[in-house]
Structure 1
């Protein structure tokens, strides 16, 4: 996950200009399949990650407009409850997060779920193919105008999340900050952003005493727990933040709300506010690929395989996303992956 190339297409002036153009013309896609639409048994459906759900809603709209034989539909991570992903499918609990999406993928067949959206990389095992399409970065956010400083070091961020630093003025670089207790929030268990962020900080514990009991939905500063919460700190997908704040991709609860990621990490601004992208100078420690995950057996299947490859493959004959999705990827705040888009890594 961390061996991400710095050859990102968004670093060019042309790509930045393209991002602005797309942002001005593309409107947010609706969540879940459109009202009144039941995906056909032969259509492709995905579940899982919150981080890339907005992008996949946009991908559904763009791809389906080309008239493919098998259309693509994405089910959001929330609200909680049961869904019947496609015609004739089993009814399942709506998967919320990368790991839940991957579990649902492997607990069912193509009759119910075809793709898991994932913001975490492959783990040990060879059941699935992890197919990357873009690069994300995970940074930190805090209550806008609250007590959090504008800048943290990696050591301080780690110290906050392992409970070494419990008040703002205990941070080595901020001795005159507020003496308020830091309210440390982390997304729900199973969240790819949660596992990646803690891994980047070198934290292996599943819980820490200073973590708040409430686990807000990732990338949603609109959660009521953040309202007026001047001491809150929360990890955030910087791509998702850019899409929400600058490119009009947020809707409903899927917005930055009370939080902002306009912060500095190790002396680097997380967000390039001039070009309205996350800063490619951030340490690779905080960057990750984002994936669509499919069953290896489906990829090789004579019927299911061509449907998946038409959307996700990287060959010249197939793979709409890697061949045609560059401006769409940029408009949702992600950085381009280049030649690695559509490659496959075994995992689970």
Structure 2
């Protein structure tokens, strides 16, 4: 059964993004009124790339691509049941990991292998999902002969954000350092906070991540956040901080005045920082720029911070403008913590010459094809281009090194 709560779906029709609201079934692209659309490529997953995918798919037009947000766009509720295609329902995946899981389940991978995510009581039917947005690479699931392939789309970078700008706290946060050479034992003060839970002193102020309100010895508490479970940015950030298991001083729920049992922390959403002057959280620089450019602005007063490269002592700004005097400009494509972002599809369907090659899917995700041709859109949404290969790959490149899940 489809959840009777309000469902919102972005449909890409003739180049116009139409948000259709209904209770129960959602109105469709073709056929009789209240029918679900036929023929669209349905995608789910990453919060990081949901907006730019919506914009790029809108530019492609012709009802080809339907990209679904990670949470309900109106209520912000996660995991509501929705219907991306006719005779198909599933719980809305929240984040890269859950999106990839839903894609694999849609491809017939058994639950014993593609285990349901939390609250996933309605798994997708066969063929329900065509692609998954992912802000992370295959990681430990990489396999040269894997069934699925992560197709590079754009360049992103991640820094920390807080509600502070132009004050002493902002100055101190802009002096946090990062060791790019050694995440697990490096001397970066940001890594010491997240990885070790250690006190760090900047400009005479000692910050302690292990006390919530009152610290001994006159230290100042600092609340370290990460996004919700299933988020690609969560996994990426933990890796960059040299963490394998989330420590007790890092939180994915907001501080409620006594403990960290408040609302879940959604990635690239400044709500948790707006309500917590002691909070510090990873934030996609590309998402921040895109939101500033009026694409789903949910910064809620979140301000980006610079990082100092421990190897050179150089301050690396997140933006190309007059930072930190003003948060102007675009993504600094040379920022110290960078990543490629991807769309995950079935390898055989985008492998030219394969018997199961899907020309429509390839026309959207392949090299020089639909998404990769939308440079203006990609830049307007804050991301960098992969015309060259700053991190090893170009847009749309299909390589065995980005294949995953050999047992599927």
> What is the TM-score normalised by the length of structure 2?
0.68
Q: Which has the larger radius of gyration?
A: 2
What's the RMSD between the two structures over aligned residues? 2.3
Counterparts of residues 31-42 of structure 1 (less than 5 Å): 32-33=10-11, 34-35=19-20, 36-37=27-28, 40-42=37-39
Tell whether 2:271 aligns with 1:271: no
Deviations 1:133-175 (A, max 9, x none): 110001111122474523210111111112433xxxx423332
**Judging changes above 3 Å, is the alpha-carbon distance between structure 1 residues 244 and 140 closer, same or farther for their aligned structure 2 residues?**
same
| Structure 2 residue corresponding to 1:258, chosen from 301, 304, 313 | 301
- Please tell me whether the aligned partners of residues 227 and 265 of structure 2 are also in contact (alpha carbons under 8 angstroms): yes
Q: Does 1:54 align with 2:58?
A: no
What is the CA-CA distance between 1:263 and the residue it aligns to?
A: 3.1
Query: C-alpha displacement at 1:278, in angstroms?
Result: 1.9
Aligned residue among 358, 361, 370 for 1:320: 370
1:194 aligns with 2:234: yes
Cα distance in structure 2, aligned partners of 1:135 and 1:184: 25
Deviation track 1:77-110 (CA, whole Å, cap 9, x = no partner) reads 0032111111222x11100111100000000146
> Do residues 86 (structure 1) and 85 (structure 2) align?
yes
CA distance in 2 between counterparts of 1:173 and 1:58 reads 41
* Shift, 1:270, TM fit: 1.5
Change (3 A) 1:53 1:31: farther
Matched, 1:343 2:397: yes
In the alignment, does 2:290 pair up with 1:212?
no
Q: 2:295 corresponds to which residue? A: 249
Secondary structure of 2:243 counterpart: coil
Residue 72 of structure 1 is aligned with which of 65, 68, 79? Answer: 65
Alignment partner, residue 294 of structure 1 = 345
- Report deviation, 1:314: 1.2
Instruction: Give me the whole-angstrom Cα distance separating, in 2, the residues matched to 1:220 and 1:304.
Output: 38
State how far apart, in whole Å, the 2-side matches of 1:32 and 1:161 are: 37
Correspondence list, 1:155-234, <5 A: 155-165=188-198, 170-176=199-205, 179-205=219-245, 207-212=246-251, 214=253, 215-221=264-270, 223=271, 225-234=272-281
Question: How far apart, CA to CA, are the structure 1 residues paired with 2:267 and 2:136?
Answer: 14
Number of equivalenced pairs: 297
Instruction: Classify the secondary structure of the residue corresponding to 1:271.
Output: coil
Structure 1 296/303 Cα, relative in aligned 2: closer, same or farther at 3 Å?
Answer: closer
1:332 paired residue number = 381
Q: Which residue of 1 aligns with 2:285?
A: 238
| Contiguous gaps of at least 5 residues in structure 1 | 1-29
Q: Distance in 2 between matches of 1:174 and 1:238?
A: 25
CA distance, structure 2, for counterparts of residue 71 and residue 174 of structure 1:
54
* Separation in structure 1 between the aligned mates of residue 251 and residue 362 of structure 2, nearest angstrom: 42
Distance 2:157 2:95 in 1: 17
Structure 2: gaps (5+ residues): 1-7, 12-18, 21-26, 30-35, 73-77, 108-125, 179-187, 208-218, 254-263, 310-314, 323-327, 389-393
Relative contact order higher in (CA < 8 Å, ≥ 6 apart): 1
Give the TM-score, by structure 1 length.
0.79
Secondary structure of 1:105's match? helix
Offset from partner CA, 1:268-304 (integer Å, 9 cap, x none): 1112224611223322xx1111111001243357677
Cα distance in 2 for partners of 1:216, 1:32 equals 24
> Match of 1:329, SS?
helix
Correspondent of 1:121 among 137, 142, 156? 137
Give the secondary structure class of the aligned counterpart of 1:190.
coil
